[in-house]
Structure 1
Amino acid sequence: MKITTWLEHLAVDAMPTIDECVEQLGPHIDYLNRFKDTPQDHKWHAEGDVHIHTGMVLDELYLLLSNQASHIQGWQRQALILGVILHDIAKPIRTREVDIQGKIRIAAPQHEDIGRSYLAFKLHHLELSFEVVWTVLNLVGEHHMPKRLAIKNMSVSDYWRLARQVNTELVYWLEVADMRGRTCPDLAQQLLYLEEFKLFAEDYGVWGKPLDVRSKLAPELNQLSPHIQDYVYAHALYQLENGKITQPEEALGTTYQHREDHPHVVVMCAPSGSGKSTWINQNYPDYELVSLDVLREEFNGDRSIQKNIGQILQAAKELLRVSLRKKQGVVWDATNLRSDFRALIIDLARDYHALVTLVVMLQPEKTIYKNNLARQYSVPDSVLDKQFDDYQLPALNEAHQYWVVGEKGKTLFRNGYYRESGDGFC
């Protein structure tokens, strides 16, 4: 069966075995082929390796989809099945022995985030809608959060953050299947944590949907200009999810001083060859540009030479500060693949009360390698290889606004924009 047809059937009634899933998806997502060689801890996962575990989780999911979760249909069914198949996709590279309270155990630290980032470009090789791609990425990246929120008795703001990032009901069903699809001594307690998560998500108004911030701000914002609407709305999301305010309406006061006149910082995030320069010229031609490539050429005589990094970064940050002080629009043009690199710029922009837009460019890997070769300033494949290895897919709350761009500059997804109703795929 062709992969496209196979994927389509997942949205209807297909219930493929783990072996069939690996056969179909393994040529596109290589880590699946290493599941059988990836061990798990004998206490937490007495059932065996990752391949066995994933097969058991799939079987449990199919039982749920036939009963309590039978209302999950169409693209959400497709995304949930793919999320289960891929939820442990990074375990083959993250599994290791670790010392936990004086005992040597087998664990796979950070496999959720690393799995999400690994898949960010892989899934674009498949014929999937972006709503499915985005949902799968976040099911993988957030699948341990439901239990973590309950176990650590985390705050309402943490539930709000999670609900904007991923559909809380879908990730709940994934984790129920994940827990049932293993052999461990504390299964009943683990499932109880998930029920607590569900109750809290319902109580906080985010069961299967993000917090409705827009309607609560509408009476005031609808009387204001569009650039103020976006500023207040985006800051309300950020402040709510970081515990700085407890009601959306509070953002009307916290943003009042700067909402009329504020800088706008656009931070690019993409590997070399993704078309950042072209996209910037088409969308923000009048903005000031802070380009690390240009500064490397000024300092080193060649933009490919990676030296004087500290001086270049300081010069770039000073250029940014100039625009921030003038309350201008400015684009920070660099790969910005790591979250700590992005945080340096975004935190600085927030200090000046800027509106920060993060532009994430996602395309199939093969397209990026091909486009890179056609560029005037191409980088070696080995450099691109490392960029993909280092890549950390940004979370929504890293910036005020989030814009995902696909091939040929096509907008795939935007979040944090007041006038756009589709702030997610829940």
Structure 2
Amino acid sequence: MWTLSNNKSWEHLVQSFDWVRDMALTPQDPLHHAEGDVATHTRMVLEAMCAESQYQQLSAQEQEILWAAALLHDVEKRSTTVTEPDGRISSPGHARKGAQTARQLLYGDIPTPFAIRQQVTALVRYHGFSLWALERPDPVKELVKVSQEADTRLLALLARADVLGRICADKDEMLYRIGCFEALCQEQQCWGVARPFATPHARMHYLLHENAHPDYVPFEQPVSEVILMSGLPGAGKDTFIRRHYPDLPVVSLDGLREEMGVSPTDATGNGQVIQAAKERARVFLRKGTRFVWNATNVTRQMRMQLLELFFTYKAQVRIVYVEVPYRQLFRQNSSREAVVPAPVLEKLAAKLEVPAAWEAHEVTWIAADPAF
């Protein structure tokens, strides 16, 4: 069974991890956290969570996942905390950045099975969602997306511990909000599961259109298919394409760079490469030709730019994410014909955002788990 740390004493965690030590150096706003710094709060959250009967009823592995998420949930308050001119303290964006840090730690430093890493990362990313879900412009659509990434049962448990593990005046109100979140999850059929849809096309129609109903099944069907590859250099994307799509045309950024004589470090030239690649893709999309887009696509922003293009042409999109364990990645990269310098590969790994199930009609994760 995977565990972030077999020894869960705070003293051991402080000695073992610099990011735990940083918690004691990170202040919080007394209005919402009268208990003090992030270390004090995190310890209280862990204690409150372990005391919950619902936590005790989880499987041993689920307990470890939730415990790791609780330990990491405020890890990046250390880098995002600011003191406003009026003396108030805030940490804007700490959940998003914390998810990135959790992913890095559980990929490079603490070898973690892919599915477990994904769940811990999602819990860190959305740990505050249940408190504010009903205030979102479209709470149901936001919930549908979150349910595709995080187990909402564990998310509610983490949020409850986050509230119980602090000293504040509005604790009862926040616990009430979590109760409303649980009711919304049950109403929308996503309590502990991803919200079901009749077809992948129905799901994407709902996510891409305003005022759409989640149970609506569109009559119009996609006119073509695009396979969008995603993964770090050296992960095995080219091998996967040769094995599974040997007869399909491929729009490859690496191939176009070689064809156009552009260096990977040439920013202007790479912009021209991307435009040339998009134009080739448009030719296939207009003809309704099935094809593969092969590039790293390791950030959501990069993928969304492409997905918007593909969806404009009414294409069905399958994202294939390929991953190997961290050390194996660097070995495979060093044996490639076009080796990516190790510092560049490390930076790409730090920016990695694994595709979520809601991004496309189908998302396939091909991930070899590390030994642990």
Q: CA shift at 1:349, angstroms? A: 0.5
Segments of structure 1 that go 5 or more residues without pairing to the other structure are 218-232, 411-426
Match of 2:40 among 52, 65, 68: 52
Partner of 1:418: none
Indicate the SS of the match to 1:89: coil
Structure 1 residue 264: Cα displacement: 1.5
Contact 1:356/1:399, CA 8 A, preserved across alignment: yes
Deviation at 1:317, TM superposition (A): 0.3
Relative to structure 1, the CA distance from residue 207 to residue 5 in structure 2 (aligned partners, 3 Å threshold; closer, same or farther) is closer
Deviation of 1:341 (Å): 1.7
Q: C-alpha separation between the residues in 2 aligned to 1:116 and 1:6?
A: 18
**Closer, same or farther: CA 68–112 of 1 in aligned 2, 3 Å:** same
**Correspondences of 1:16-415 after superposition (within 5 Å):** 16-23=8-15, 26=17, 31-64=19-52, 67-97=53-83, 99=84, 103-124=86-107, 126=110, 128-152=112-136, 154-213=138-197, 217=198, 233-242=199-208, 245-248=212-215, 250-251=216-217, 254=218, 256-259=219-222, 262-303=223-264, 305-407=266-368
2:73 partner letter: H
The answer (yes or no) to whether the contact 1:18–1:54 under 8 Å persists in 2 is no
SS at match of 1:209: coil
Q: Give the SS at the match of 1:355.
A: strand
**Alignment CA distance shift 1:121-1:284 (3 Å):** farther
Residues 166-217 of structure 1 deviation map (CA, whole Å, 9 limit, x = unaligned): 111110000000111112232221111111111222222222222233xxx4
Q: Deviations over 1:9-30 (max 9, x none)?
A: 7xxxx9x333334556x3xxx5
- Conservation of the 8 A alpha-carbon contact between 1:165 and 1:396: yes
SS for the counterpart of 2:56 is coil
**Superimposed CA distance per residue, residues 313-340 of structure 1 (whole angstroms, 9 cap, x where no aligned partner):** 2111001111112222222212222222
Cα separation, 1, equivalents of 2:2 and 2:212? 47
Indicate the SS of the match to 1:307.
helix
Structure 2: runs of 5 or more not aligned: none
CA deviations over 1:336-358 (Å, ceiling 9, x no partner): 22222211110110011111122
CA distance in 2, matches of 1:265, 1:107: 42
- Give 3-state SS (helix, strand or coil) of 2:308's partner: helix
Could you tell me how far 1:234 is from its partner in structure 2?
A: 1.4
TM-score by length of 1: 0.78
Deviations 1:44-86 (A, max 9, x none): 222222222111100000111xx24432223222211111111
| CA apart distance, 1:154 | 4.1
* Code of the aligned partner of 2:224: P
Separation (CA, whole Å) in 1 of partners of 2:312 and 2:3: 49
> Could you say what secondary structure the match of 1:103 adopts?
coil
1:129 and 1:319, CA in 2 relative to 1: closer, same or farther beyond 3 A? Answer: same
Alignment CA distance shift 1:92-1:363 (3 Å): farther
Letter aligned with residue 245 of structure 1:
A
Give a deviation string over 1:219-265, Cα, whole Å, max 9, x none. xxxxxxxxxxxxxx2122223345553243x32xx2x3335xx3211
Given that residues 146 and 172 in structure 1 are in contact (C-alpha distance below 8 angstroms), is that contact kept between their aligned partners in structure 2?
A: yes
Distance 1:265 1:55 in 2: 47
Percent of aligned positions that are identical = 29
Q: Report the CA distance shift for 1:74/1:310 in structure 2 as closer, same or farther (over 3 A).
A: same
TM-score, structure 2 normalization: 0.88
Aligned residue identity for 1:335: T
SS at match of 1:331: strand
Q: How large is the Cα RMSD of the aligned pairs?
A: 2.7
